[in-house]
Copies of this chain bind each other. A is one copy, B any other.
Amino acid sequence: MLKSNRIKMKKINICIIGARSVSSGSLIKLLLQHKHVKINMLVSEVEGEDIEKIHSCLRGVFSGKTEKYDPKKIIKNCDLVFLHKSHGDFWEKTGKLVDLSVKMDKDLRFIDLSADFRLKDESLYSKWYDFKHGRKDLLSQAVYGLTELNRDKIKNAKIVANPGCYPTAVLLALAPLLKGNFVDINSNQGIYVYAISGFSGAGKNNNGTSAFNTAENIKPYKVGHVHQHVPEIEQEINNMLHKKIEITFAPHLAGFKYGILTTNYVTLKKQHEWKYIHSVYEKMYKNEPFIRLFNGCPEIKDAVGTNFCDIGFSVDKDKNTCTVMSVIDNVIKGASGQAIQNMNVMYGFDETEGLPYSEALKRASVA
Protein backbone atom coordinates (compact mmCIF):
# COMPACT_ATOMS: atom_id res chain seq x y z
CA MET A 1 0.00 0.00 0.00
CA LEU A 2 2.82 2.31 0.92
CA LYS A 3 4.42 1.56 -2.40
CA SER A 4 1.44 2.31 -4.57
CA ASN A 5 1.01 5.48 -2.59
CA ARG A 6 4.54 6.41 -3.34
CA ILE A 7 4.00 6.03 -7.03
CA LYS A 8 1.08 8.31 -7.15
CA MET A 9 2.82 10.88 -5.03
CA LYS A 10 3.73 14.08 -6.82
CA LYS A 11 7.43 14.90 -6.71
CA ILE A 12 8.53 18.01 -4.87
CA ASN A 13 10.77 20.46 -6.65
CA ILE A 14 14.07 21.26 -5.05
CA CYS A 15 16.29 24.31 -5.16
CA ILE A 16 19.82 24.15 -3.73
CA ILE A 17 21.43 27.47 -2.87
CA GLY A 18 25.18 27.16 -2.46
CA ALA A 19 25.53 24.27 -4.86
CA ARG A 20 29.31 24.25 -4.78
CA SER A 21 29.90 23.18 -1.18
CA VAL A 22 31.01 19.69 -0.17
CA SER A 23 27.73 19.06 1.60
CA SER A 24 25.73 20.18 -1.41
CA GLY A 25 27.57 17.60 -3.48
CA SER A 26 26.61 14.97 -0.97
CA LEU A 27 23.05 16.31 -0.85
CA ILE A 28 22.62 16.08 -4.62
CA LYS A 29 24.07 12.57 -4.64
CA LEU A 30 21.54 11.44 -2.05
CA LEU A 31 18.59 13.31 -3.56
CA LEU A 32 19.18 11.53 -6.86
CA GLN A 33 18.19 8.27 -5.15
CA HIS A 34 15.11 9.82 -3.58
CA LYS A 35 11.83 8.76 -5.12
CA HIS A 36 9.81 11.88 -4.46
CA VAL A 37 12.00 14.78 -5.40
CA LYS A 38 13.25 16.52 -8.48
CA ILE A 39 16.30 18.78 -8.36
CA ASN A 40 15.13 21.83 -10.22
CA MET A 41 17.57 24.62 -9.52
CA LEU A 42 21.21 24.80 -8.51
CA VAL A 43 22.06 28.28 -7.30
CA SER A 44 25.61 29.48 -6.89
CA GLU A 45 27.59 32.68 -6.96
CA VAL A 46 29.48 31.27 -9.89
CA GLU A 47 26.95 31.00 -12.65
CA GLY A 48 26.87 28.54 -15.53
CA GLU A 49 29.16 25.90 -14.16
CA ASP A 50 28.58 22.21 -14.84
CA ILE A 51 27.63 20.64 -11.54
CA GLU A 52 29.44 17.41 -12.45
CA LYS A 53 32.68 19.32 -12.82
CA ILE A 54 32.24 20.83 -9.37
CA HIS A 55 31.33 17.49 -7.77
CA SER A 56 33.19 14.83 -9.69
CA CYS A 57 31.08 12.12 -8.00
CA LEU A 58 28.17 13.29 -10.16
CA ARG A 59 29.92 12.62 -13.44
CA GLY A 60 27.84 10.42 -15.71
CA VAL A 61 25.03 10.54 -13.20
CA PHE A 62 23.58 13.98 -13.19
CA SER A 63 24.03 17.06 -15.29
CA GLY A 64 22.94 20.56 -14.63
CA LYS A 65 24.34 24.05 -14.54
CA THR A 66 24.55 26.48 -11.68
CA GLU A 67 22.46 29.60 -12.02
CA LYS A 68 22.40 32.85 -10.13
CA TYR A 69 20.10 33.62 -7.22
CA ASP A 70 16.70 34.71 -8.58
CA PRO A 71 14.05 34.78 -5.83
CA LYS A 72 11.05 34.91 -8.11
CA LYS A 73 12.21 32.03 -10.22
CA ILE A 74 12.85 29.96 -7.10
CA ILE A 75 9.39 30.65 -5.75
CA LYS A 76 7.80 29.89 -9.06
CA ASN A 77 9.62 26.63 -9.71
CA CYS A 78 10.38 25.13 -6.35
CA ASP A 79 8.71 23.78 -3.24
CA LEU A 80 11.72 23.34 -1.00
CA VAL A 81 14.98 25.24 -0.71
CA PHE A 82 18.16 23.82 0.78
CA LEU A 83 20.73 26.47 1.71
CA HIS A 84 24.40 25.81 2.26
CA LYS A 85 26.82 27.13 3.54
CA SER A 86 27.82 30.77 3.79
CA HIS A 87 26.88 31.66 7.35
CA GLY A 88 25.59 35.20 7.65
CA ASP A 89 24.18 35.50 4.18
CA PHE A 90 21.28 33.12 4.28
CA TRP A 91 19.07 34.76 6.87
CA GLU A 92 18.61 37.59 4.43
CA LYS A 93 18.04 35.42 1.39
CA THR A 94 15.63 33.20 3.28
CA GLY A 95 13.86 36.23 4.71
CA LYS A 96 13.30 37.67 1.30
CA LEU A 97 12.06 34.36 -0.08
CA VAL A 98 9.69 33.95 2.84
CA ASP A 99 8.23 37.41 2.41
CA LEU A 100 7.94 37.09 -1.32
CA SER A 101 6.45 33.61 -1.23
CA VAL A 102 3.79 34.80 1.19
CA LYS A 103 3.01 37.59 -1.19
CA MET A 104 2.93 35.18 -4.13
CA ASP A 105 0.90 32.72 -2.07
CA LYS A 106 3.29 29.85 -2.56
CA ASP A 107 4.05 27.30 0.16
CA LEU A 108 7.82 27.48 -0.03
CA ARG A 109 9.77 25.74 2.73
CA PHE A 110 13.41 25.86 3.80
CA ILE A 111 16.09 23.61 5.18
CA ASP A 112 19.05 25.79 6.02
CA LEU A 113 22.32 23.91 6.49
CA SER A 114 24.13 27.06 7.54
CA ALA A 115 24.08 28.37 11.09
CA ASP A 116 21.75 31.24 10.22
CA PHE A 117 18.65 29.92 11.96
CA ARG A 118 20.12 27.63 14.60
CA LEU A 119 20.48 30.10 17.46
CA LYS A 120 17.39 31.57 19.04
CA ASP A 121 19.14 34.48 20.72
CA GLU A 122 20.12 36.74 17.85
CA SER A 123 22.82 38.43 19.91
CA LEU A 124 24.80 35.21 19.72
CA TYR A 125 25.35 35.78 16.01
CA SER A 126 27.27 38.94 16.67
CA LYS A 127 29.33 37.23 19.33
CA TRP A 128 30.11 33.90 17.68
CA TYR A 129 29.66 34.46 13.96
CA ASP A 130 30.51 38.10 13.63
CA PHE A 131 27.41 39.23 11.79
CA LYS A 132 24.22 40.97 12.80
CA HIS A 133 21.12 38.90 12.26
CA GLY A 134 18.28 40.96 10.85
CA ARG A 135 15.33 38.62 11.06
CA LYS A 136 14.55 37.97 14.71
CA ASP A 137 10.99 37.19 13.59
CA LEU A 138 12.12 34.21 11.55
CA LEU A 139 14.52 32.98 14.22
CA SER A 140 11.63 32.29 16.53
CA GLN A 141 9.75 30.48 13.80
CA ALA A 142 12.63 28.29 12.71
CA VAL A 143 12.80 24.76 14.14
CA TYR A 144 16.11 23.25 15.20
CA GLY A 145 16.28 20.23 12.96
CA LEU A 146 17.76 17.53 15.12
CA THR A 147 15.26 15.03 13.79
CA GLU A 148 15.24 12.56 16.65
CA LEU A 149 14.53 15.27 19.21
CA ASN A 150 12.23 17.62 17.34
CA ARG A 151 10.34 15.43 14.92
CA ASP A 152 6.92 16.83 15.67
CA LYS A 153 7.89 20.44 15.30
CA ILE A 154 9.79 19.71 12.12
CA LYS A 155 6.67 18.31 10.46
CA ASN A 156 5.08 21.69 10.20
CA ALA A 157 8.11 23.92 10.13
CA LYS A 158 8.51 26.47 7.39
CA ILE A 159 12.20 26.90 8.17
CA VAL A 160 14.26 24.03 9.52
CA ALA A 161 17.67 24.98 10.89
CA ASN A 162 19.73 21.92 10.12
CA PRO A 163 22.13 21.30 13.04
CA GLY A 164 25.91 21.60 12.89
CA CYS A 165 27.92 18.42 12.59
CA TYR A 166 29.46 18.48 16.08
CA PRO A 167 26.17 19.45 17.77
CA THR A 168 24.35 16.58 16.06
CA ALA A 169 26.79 14.03 17.45
CA VAL A 170 27.03 15.61 20.91
CA LEU A 171 23.33 16.17 21.45
CA LEU A 172 22.27 12.71 20.32
CA ALA A 173 24.90 11.28 22.67
CA LEU A 174 23.74 13.28 25.68
CA ALA A 175 19.97 13.61 25.16
CA PRO A 176 18.87 10.52 27.12
CA LEU A 177 20.97 11.54 30.12
CA LEU A 178 19.89 15.17 29.95
CA LYS A 179 16.22 14.53 29.34
CA GLY A 180 16.19 11.83 32.02
CA ASN A 181 17.70 14.31 34.47
CA PHE A 182 20.71 12.13 35.23
CA VAL A 183 23.42 14.76 34.93
CA ASP A 184 24.84 16.54 37.95
CA ILE A 185 25.03 20.01 36.53
CA ASN A 186 26.39 21.46 39.72
CA SER A 187 29.58 19.50 39.25
CA ASN A 188 32.34 22.04 38.94
CA GLN A 189 33.66 20.59 35.71
CA GLY A 190 30.30 20.35 34.04
CA ILE A 191 30.11 18.65 30.69
CA TYR A 192 33.38 18.04 28.94
CA VAL A 193 33.11 17.37 25.22
CA TYR A 194 36.01 16.01 23.25
CA ALA A 195 35.52 15.67 19.51
CA ILE A 196 37.43 14.63 16.40
CA SER A 197 36.38 15.52 12.90
CA GLY A 198 37.52 14.36 9.49
CA PHE A 199 39.01 17.12 7.37
CA SER A 200 35.96 17.38 5.13
CA GLY A 201 34.39 19.32 7.99
CA ALA A 202 36.83 22.14 7.38
CA GLY A 203 35.76 22.78 3.79
CA LYS A 204 37.56 22.05 0.60
CA ASN A 205 40.35 24.45 -0.11
CA ASN A 206 42.13 26.05 2.75
CA ASN A 207 45.55 25.74 4.25
CA GLY A 208 44.26 23.74 7.20
CA THR A 209 43.11 20.98 4.90
CA SER A 210 46.18 20.74 2.74
CA ALA A 211 47.47 17.20 2.64
CA PHE A 212 50.63 18.50 4.34
CA ASN A 213 48.65 19.56 7.36
CA THR A 214 46.30 16.60 7.65
CA ALA A 215 48.12 13.45 6.52
CA GLU A 216 49.30 11.29 9.42
CA ASN A 217 48.21 14.02 11.82
CA ILE A 218 45.72 15.00 14.52
CA LYS A 219 45.45 18.57 15.67
CA PRO A 220 43.39 20.12 18.47
CA TYR A 221 41.97 23.59 17.72
CA LYS A 222 39.73 26.16 19.38
CA VAL A 223 39.92 24.24 22.67
CA GLY A 224 37.90 25.52 25.64
CA HIS A 225 34.90 27.77 25.07
CA VAL A 226 35.86 29.08 21.68
CA HIS A 227 34.43 27.03 18.79
CA GLN A 228 31.30 28.45 17.10
CA HIS A 229 29.38 25.24 17.76
CA VAL A 230 29.59 25.86 21.52
CA PRO A 231 26.54 28.19 21.78
CA GLU A 232 24.52 25.83 19.59
CA ILE A 233 25.31 22.85 21.81
CA GLU A 234 24.68 24.88 24.97
CA GLN A 235 21.36 26.22 23.70
CA GLU A 236 20.02 22.73 23.11
CA ILE A 237 21.46 21.31 26.33
CA ASN A 238 19.87 24.17 28.23
CA ASN A 239 16.55 23.46 26.52
CA MET A 240 16.69 19.91 27.74
CA LEU A 241 17.84 20.84 31.25
CA HIS A 242 15.71 23.98 31.57
CA LYS A 243 18.79 25.50 33.09
CA LYS A 244 21.88 27.34 31.86
CA ILE A 245 25.21 25.55 31.87
CA GLU A 246 28.48 25.96 30.06
CA ILE A 247 30.39 23.17 28.41
CA THR A 248 34.08 22.74 27.73
CA PHE A 249 34.68 21.75 24.13
CA ALA A 250 37.90 20.31 22.70
CA PRO A 251 37.57 19.80 18.93
CA HIS A 252 40.28 18.12 16.83
CA LEU A 253 41.01 17.96 13.13
CA ALA A 254 41.99 14.48 11.95
CA GLY A 255 43.63 13.10 8.83
CA PHE A 256 40.66 11.04 7.63
CA LYS A 257 38.12 12.46 5.22
CA TYR A 258 34.72 11.74 6.74
CA GLY A 259 33.41 11.15 10.24
CA ILE A 260 33.06 12.70 13.68
CA LEU A 261 33.70 10.98 16.98
CA THR A 262 32.62 12.73 20.16
CA THR A 263 33.49 11.66 23.68
CA ASN A 264 31.30 13.31 26.26
CA TYR A 265 32.30 13.17 29.90
CA VAL A 266 29.61 13.93 32.48
CA THR A 267 29.05 13.52 36.21
CA LEU A 268 25.88 11.67 37.13
CA LYS A 269 23.70 12.63 40.07
CA LYS A 270 24.12 9.23 41.62
CA GLN A 271 25.61 5.78 41.08
CA HIS A 272 24.22 3.79 38.19
CA GLU A 273 25.13 0.49 36.59
CA TRP A 274 26.03 0.40 32.90
CA LYS A 275 22.99 -1.80 32.36
CA TYR A 276 20.59 0.76 33.72
CA ILE A 277 22.05 3.58 31.67
CA HIS A 278 21.87 1.37 28.63
CA SER A 279 18.17 0.77 29.24
CA VAL A 280 17.61 4.52 29.40
CA TYR A 281 19.17 4.89 25.96
CA GLU A 282 17.31 1.93 24.58
CA LYS A 283 14.01 3.28 25.77
CA MET A 284 14.53 6.62 24.11
CA TYR A 285 16.05 5.38 20.88
CA LYS A 286 14.54 1.95 20.27
CA ASN A 287 12.36 3.03 17.35
CA GLU A 288 14.86 5.38 15.80
CA PRO A 289 15.98 4.06 12.40
CA PHE A 290 19.22 6.02 12.49
CA ILE A 291 20.47 5.46 16.03
CA ARG A 292 22.51 2.36 16.74
CA LEU A 293 23.49 1.54 20.34
CA PHE A 294 26.80 -0.26 20.87
CA ASN A 295 27.77 -2.42 23.80
CA GLY A 296 31.36 -1.43 23.28
CA CYS A 297 32.86 1.66 21.67
CA PRO A 298 31.60 2.91 18.31
CA GLU A 299 34.22 3.69 15.69
CA ILE A 300 34.44 6.11 12.79
CA LYS A 301 34.61 3.61 9.97
CA ASP A 302 31.24 1.98 10.70
CA ALA A 303 29.21 5.18 10.46
CA VAL A 304 30.97 6.71 7.47
CA GLY A 305 28.81 6.65 4.36
CA THR A 306 25.61 6.31 6.39
CA ASN A 307 23.05 8.47 8.17
CA PHE A 308 23.56 6.55 11.42
CA CYS A 309 24.57 7.94 14.75
CA ASP A 310 26.37 5.16 16.64
CA ILE A 311 26.42 5.50 20.42
CA GLY A 312 28.29 3.62 23.15
CA PHE A 313 29.26 4.46 26.69
CA SER A 314 31.36 3.59 29.67
CA VAL A 315 30.08 4.10 33.21
CA ASP A 316 32.41 4.59 36.16
CA LYS A 317 30.11 3.63 38.99
CA ASP A 318 32.51 4.57 41.77
CA LYS A 319 33.08 8.06 40.50
CA ASN A 320 29.51 8.63 39.29
CA THR A 321 30.84 9.56 35.88
CA CYS A 322 29.84 8.45 32.45
CA THR A 323 31.67 8.75 29.13
CA VAL A 324 29.30 8.72 26.18
CA MET A 325 30.81 8.22 22.73
CA SER A 326 29.01 8.96 19.49
CA VAL A 327 30.02 8.64 15.85
CA ILE A 328 28.43 10.09 12.73
CA ASP A 329 29.40 10.78 9.14
CA ASN A 330 29.91 14.53 9.43
CA VAL A 331 28.72 15.23 5.89
CA ILE A 332 25.69 12.90 5.96
CA LYS A 333 24.07 12.71 9.41
CA GLY A 334 26.01 15.88 10.22
CA ALA A 335 24.64 17.77 7.19
CA SER A 336 23.10 16.45 3.96
CA GLY A 337 21.63 13.21 5.32
CA GLN A 338 19.94 14.83 8.26
CA ALA A 339 18.63 17.51 5.90
CA ILE A 340 16.96 14.80 3.84
CA GLN A 341 15.70 13.08 6.97
CA ASN A 342 14.12 16.41 7.93
CA MET A 343 12.63 16.81 4.46
CA ASN A 344 11.13 13.33 4.75
CA VAL A 345 9.52 14.32 8.03
CA MET A 346 8.27 17.63 6.62
CA TYR A 347 6.62 16.03 3.61
CA GLY A 348 5.41 12.79 5.15
CA PHE A 349 7.78 10.59 3.16
CA ASP A 350 9.24 7.47 4.70
CA GLU A 351 11.89 8.90 7.03
CA THR A 352 14.62 6.73 5.53
CA GLU A 353 13.79 7.46 1.87
CA GLY A 354 16.79 8.49 -0.18
CA LEU A 355 19.23 7.71 2.60
CA PRO A 356 21.84 4.93 2.59
CA TYR A 357 20.29 1.52 3.30
CA SER A 358 16.81 2.98 2.88
CA GLU A 359 15.27 -0.17 1.42
CA ALA A 360 16.66 -2.38 4.16
CA LEU A 361 15.58 0.08 6.81
CA LYS A 362 12.05 0.28 5.42
CA ARG A 363 11.86 -3.48 5.47
CA ALA A 364 13.22 -3.57 9.00
CA SER A 365 10.64 -1.07 10.19
CA VAL A 366 7.84 -3.06 8.58
CA ALA A 367 8.97 -6.21 10.35
Q: Hey, which bits of chain A sit against chain B, CB under 8 A?
A: 2-5, 7, 9, 22, 29, 32-35, 56-57, 59-62, 184, 187-190, 192, 194, 196, 199-200, 204-205, 207, 209-221, 223-226, 246, 248, 250, 252, 254-259, 261, 263, 265, 267, 292, 297-302, 304-306, 308, 312, 314-316, 318-321, 323, 325, 357-364, 366
Contact A255-B35, Cβ < 8 Å, known A62-B360, A196-B218: no
Partner of A248, one of B190, B265, B299: B265
Partner of A32, one of B192, B205, B360: B360
Residues of B within 8 A of A3 (CB): 7, 362, 366
Q: Who on chain B is nearest to A63 by CB?
A: B364
Docked-complex contact A323 and B223, CB < 8 angstroms: yes
Partner of A218, one of B35, B212, B299, B359: B299
Contact A319-B246, Cβ < 8 Å, known A2-B35, A33-B357, A192-B192: yes
Contact A267-B188, Cβ < 8 Å, known A61-B360, A204-B212: yes
Docked-complex contact B215 and A215, CB < 8 angstroms: yes
Docked-complex contact A217 and B256, CB < 8 angstroms: yes
Residues of B within 8 A of A56 (CB): 301-302
Docked-complex contact B299 and A217, CB < 8 angstroms: yes
Complex Cα distance A56/B305, Å? Answer: 13
Distance to closest chain B CB from A253 (angstroms) = 9
Partner of A292, one of B9, B59, B188: B59
Distance to closest chain B CB from A365 (angstroms) = 10
Distance to closest chain B CB from A361 (angstroms) = 7
A-B contact pairs, 7 of them (CB 8 A): A188-B321, A199-B212, A216-B304, A219-B301, A220-B261, A220-B298, A224-B315
16 extra interface residue pairs, beta carbon distance < 8 Å, beyond A2-B9, A33-B360, A248-B319:
A2-B35, A33-B359, A189-B267, A205-B207, A205-B210, A205-B212, A209-B212, A211-B257, A215-B301, A216-B304, A217-B300, A218-B259, A220-B263, A220-B299, A248-B316, A254-B254
Residues of B within 8 A of A261 (CB): 218, 220, 252
Contact A357-B61, Cβ < 8 Å, known A211-B214, A219-B297, A246-B319: yes
Distance to closest chain B CB from A155 (angstroms) = 20
Docked-complex contact A223 and B256, CB < 8 angstroms: no
Distance to closest chain B CB from A258 (angstroms) = 8
Contact A308-B33, Cβ < 8 Å, known A256-B217, A321-B189: no
Contact A316-B224, Cβ < 8 Å, known A60-B308, A211-B214: yes
Q: Who on chain B is nearest to A221 by CB?
A: B297
Distance to closest chain B CB from A236 (angstroms) = 20
Distance to closest chain B CB from A125 (angstroms) = 22
Residues of B within 8 A of A315 (CB): 224
Docked-complex contact B254 and A218, CB < 8 angstroms: yes
Complex Cα distance A196/B57, Å? Answer: 21
Docked-complex contact B223 and A297, CB < 8 angstroms: yes
Residues of B within 8 A of A305 (CB): 305
Contact A220-B321, Cβ < 8 Å, known A209-B212, A302-B57: no
Residues of B within 8 A of A29 (CB): 357
Partner of A209, one of B59, B210, B259, B267: B210
Residues of B within 8 A of A225 (CB): 316, 318
Residues of B within 8 A of A210 (CB): 204-205, 209-211
